[in-house]
Structure formats: C-alpha cells, structure tokens
Amino acid sequence: MDFANMTMTQKKMLGGAAACLLFAISLFFPWRGNSVPDGYQGMVPDVSIKGWDLMPSGWLWLLMGLAAAAILLMSALDMEIPVPVPPFATAFYLISVPFVVMMAQFFESTSGLKFGFFIALLAAAAGTVLAFMVGREVEG
C-alpha cells in the first residue's frame, strides 16, 4: 500500500477506520471510578469500571466499532463490500450511535470519569465526523 498515491478521501477513510478501531479498544480501558482523596488511600477502595461494563451490551458496541472500522478500511483499500448497503451511511450510523450515548452519559454526570472515557469519546467523535465527511464526498 502506497500512501503517497492515496487520495485525500482514502486517507480520511483510513483515519476513520483507525478512530473506530481505537473506540473498540477503548472499551477495555477504565471509564468511571471514584477518586480517593489524599490521606484516605487504603480506607476507601478504588473502584474502576471499564467501558465494556458501563455501556449496555458491551459486545454490541464492540461489534459496531469494529464493523464501522472494517467498512471504512475496505472502502479505502478499494475492496468490494459484500453487503448491499450504502457503506458510508452505515459506517456513520454504526459509530455515531455510541458517540451519542456517550455524550448523554457525559452530560448526565462528569464525576468520576477516567481517561478511557475521554479516549473513547474523542475516537467516536473523530470516526463520526470522518465517516460523515467521506460520505458527503463520495455519495454526494
């Protein structure tokens, strides 16, 4: 694969695929937990909840992120997608649903959020924006 000969649209597709893959990986990072104040370490247990456990049906979110990444990657590499669906609209939907749910969780309560949540939120946002941009360019 020669990156020098790729179009900007194909590079956006690869970026969107990488963002969707990062979202899927970030499901296994800690998303929420309590912060123990100084002097209380050992008295209060440090609770950490992974995104896999926090999101409803974690395996579904994992499949959605991986499917969106696969669609964008196959399109960037000019491979034929074996399912008769509009690829970029499908990729946009698959990654935007987790993004919207995460935004709802963010606005519900920001206390106890950990780094994994913000990685997942940024990755889902990037994947959503790039899938939308590519869809507008390619499908008109």
- Residue 68's φ and ψ, nearest 5 degrees, are -65, -40
pLDDT tops 90 at residue 56: no
Looking at residue 86, what is its pLDDT?
A: 86
Both tokens of 21, joined, read 């893959």
Q: Which residues contact 61 (CB under 8 A, 6 or more apart)?
A: 24, 27, 51, 55, 98
Looking at 3-7, 23-27, 95-99, which range is the least confident one? 3-7
The per-residue pLDDT for range 16-46, each reduced to its tens digit, is 999 999 999 999 998 888 766 556 656 656 6
Which element (helix H / strand E) includes 96?
A: helix 87-108
- Residue 37's φ and ψ, nearest 5 degrees, are -65, 155
pTM listed for this prediction: 0.85
Cα separation, 97 vs 62, whole angstroms: 12
Both tokens of 105, joined, read 């969780």
